[in-house]
Amino acid sequence: MSVAQVFEKLEQNFNADAAQGLDLVFQFDIEDDNNYHLAINDGSCKLHEGSHEDPSVTLIMNSDTLQGIVSGETDGMQAFMAGQLRAEGDMMLATKLGELFNMG
């Protein structure tokens, strides 16, 4: 699965009910592929290729780590502790990803 397909899958598995009242941008810096960001605004989710100028949180990883987390094979917290995933900005927002997207 390509990185673009992984993000399309994420967007399709968006949980709009969990995003009511939220206005967030998740930036994904993929070290060996293109960058993407997901803009979440009051129950909607839009996928964009490229970098956002002012993301709420930036998650930095390679494409293998991304695919593992989205497929459910890799636990995001374990990837973070192992140094495979880095976060900049509001790191607590990264923990909301599991609520906002049905992983695995």
Structure tokens at 104: 């695995």
**pTM beyond 0.85:** yes
What digits encode the pLDDT tens for the residues 53-77? 999 999 999 999 999 998 889 998 8
Tell me which residue of 37, 46, 48, 1 sits closest to 19, measured CA to CA. 46
Query: Higher confidence at residue 86 or residue 91?
Result: 86
pLDDT category of residue 97 using cuts at 50, 70 and 90: confident
DSSP single-letter state for residue 53: S
15 in Cβ contact with 101 (< 8 Å): yes
22-32 confidence digits (pLDDT tens): 999 999 999 99
Q: What pLDDT score was predicted for residue 104?
A: 63
